[in-house]
Structure 1
Amino acid sequence: MKKDFTILYPAHENIYVNVTNRCPFNCTFCLRQSMDSVYGNEKSLWLTKEPSVEEVIDAFKQRDISSYKEIVFCGFGEPTERLYDIFEICDYLKQNYDKPIRINTNGMANLIWNKDTTKDFKNRIDIVSVSLNHPDKNKYQKLVRSKFGIKTHEAMLEFVKEVKKYVSKVVLTTVDTTLSKEEEKLCQKICDELQVEYRIRPYEE
């Protein structure tokens, strides 16, 4: 895989922030297993190094953000691996841009940091999008191949339950090619019980 130093990249009328290659999952359907970039971007999202907080802020200063709908932390790694750097960046963004801030995550922040991180999302992140992936914990683990093992599914749902207390919107997602219609109904039931939104997202090729 070729590497680059792509910090910001556009997609879906939003500006995306790429801060790490690290991830505790090795998902069977992950795009980064077969490509260097997504959404028609020419530059690789595989980072030559992790950008510092200052480098991310400088990247924003060099770009006109006014035309984008949202600022989204999502790249070729799990963004919560650098959660507290992201919070520092969010503090800057909130002071300088009137844009909703979203983070796309696997919901492992509390396991990654070995503590409850959810209170720190308050006034920083507006939307948390969590990959639900599967309603069954065993099949979920086969899909995501988490380094945390079988407890991962329960930990993800517990993270959702807590983080919704501190952010205005929480969405759980699955990929349309990975589940049956019956499994999607079970995912909807989980979301209804948690009182969060459910979205089935298309597989991006």
Structure 2
Amino acid sequence: MIVYATHKGGRYLPMEESLKEQPEGRRGLYVNLTNRCNCACTFCLRQMKKMAEQSSLWLKREPTVEEVEAELDGVPWEYVKEVVFCGFGEPTERLEALIALLRYVKGMHPDIPTRVNTNGLGELEHGRVFASEFAGILDTVSISLNASNAARYLALTRAKFGEKSYEAMLAFAQHCKPYVPNVVLTIVDKVEGPDEIEKCRKICADRGLTLRVRAYEDS
């Protein structure tokens, strides 16, 4: 599934089905670009969640930019409150496609907010700083902080780049600040306890960043 909406119970539905179940109100429109990820997080639903074929986020192949644009063109935009690039893979793995599609959404629907959910390791993946390319097309970047130190972060994420991943993720957040209005770091409730969450809150406060505690989804 390339374009979908989320519903209670951890369900993902095509927009047509979403509107049948919930005909009123605006909702987030999610865009799934890839299965690829440079982390293998211990708590990730990729490894724990079974899905019916018709509602699976696993892609049989990566869609082209043109194919994603075609799906977006068919969306009832009057029901969309935000466009979120987030699937079961890491969206910055397909950086050029991500940038192109953010431009497309903002060009067609400039008043609708855009968001990218990312592990923040795209700079390591691509070997360059690219945050400036988000200027004017991305409203919020949500980055998975996950832990208060590099060793704990690596134990949780099993990032392919090793312990240097942690500081690279924090550097990416700082690089985004001049170009993205809302830079948010996240940690998952129940994966980490209150003490660890408070340490993460201080890290964000010291860097002028926002921390959001995400609800753990185990189904």
Q: TM-score, normalised by structure 2?
A: 0.87
CA distance in 1, matches of 2:202, 2:103: 35
Preserved CA contact (<8 Å) 1:71 1:100: yes
Aligned with 2:32 (options 18, 30, 51): 18
Q: Is the 8 A contact 1:9 1:41 kept in 2?
A: no
1:64 aligned partner: 76
Asked whether the 8 Å contact 1:36–1:45 carries over to 2, the reply is: no
Alignment partner of 1:89 out of 101, 120, 125: 101
Q: What is the CA RMSD across the aligned residues, in angstroms?
A: 1.4
Q: Distance in 1 between matches of 2:53 and 2:3?
A: 11
CA distance in 2, matches of 1:41, 1:30: 19
Runs of 4+ in 1 over 2 A off after TM superposition: none
Structure 1 counterpart SS, 2:49? coil
Indicate the percent of aligned positions where both proteins have the same amino acid: 44
Deviations 1:136-183 (A, max 9, x none): 110110000000001000000000011111000011101001111111
Please state if 1:9 is matched with 2:10: no
Structure 2 distance, partners of 1:31, 1:92, is 29
Query: Once the 2 structures are TM-superposed, how far is the Cα of residue 11 of structure 1 from its aligned partner?
Result: 1.9
61-70 or 98-107, which deviates more? 61-70
1:114 matches 2:127? yes
Q: Distance in 2 between matches of 1:42 and 1:174?
A: 30
For 1:90 and 1:104, locate their aligned partners in 2 and report how far apart those are by CA, in whole Å: 13
Q: Is 1:175 aligned with 2:188?
A: yes
Q: Measure how far apart 1:41 and its partner are.
A: 9.8
> Structure 1 stretches of 5 or more lacking a match?
1-5
Distance apart, 1:36 and its partner CA: 4.3
Structure 2 counterpart of 1:32, from 46, 61, 65: 46
Cα 1:79/1:123, change in 2 over 3 Å: same
CA distance in 1, matches of 2:171, 2:194: 25
- Counterparts of 1:119-138 in structure 2, within 5 Å, are 119-138=132-151
Q: Deviations over 1:174-202 (max 9, x none)?
A: 10011111111100001101111111010
| Residue from 18, 43, 51 that aligns with 2:63 | 51
**Quick one: distance in 2 between partners of 1:129 and 1:17?**
15
- Structure 2 gaps of 5+ residues are 8-26
Distance 2:43 2:82 in 1: 25
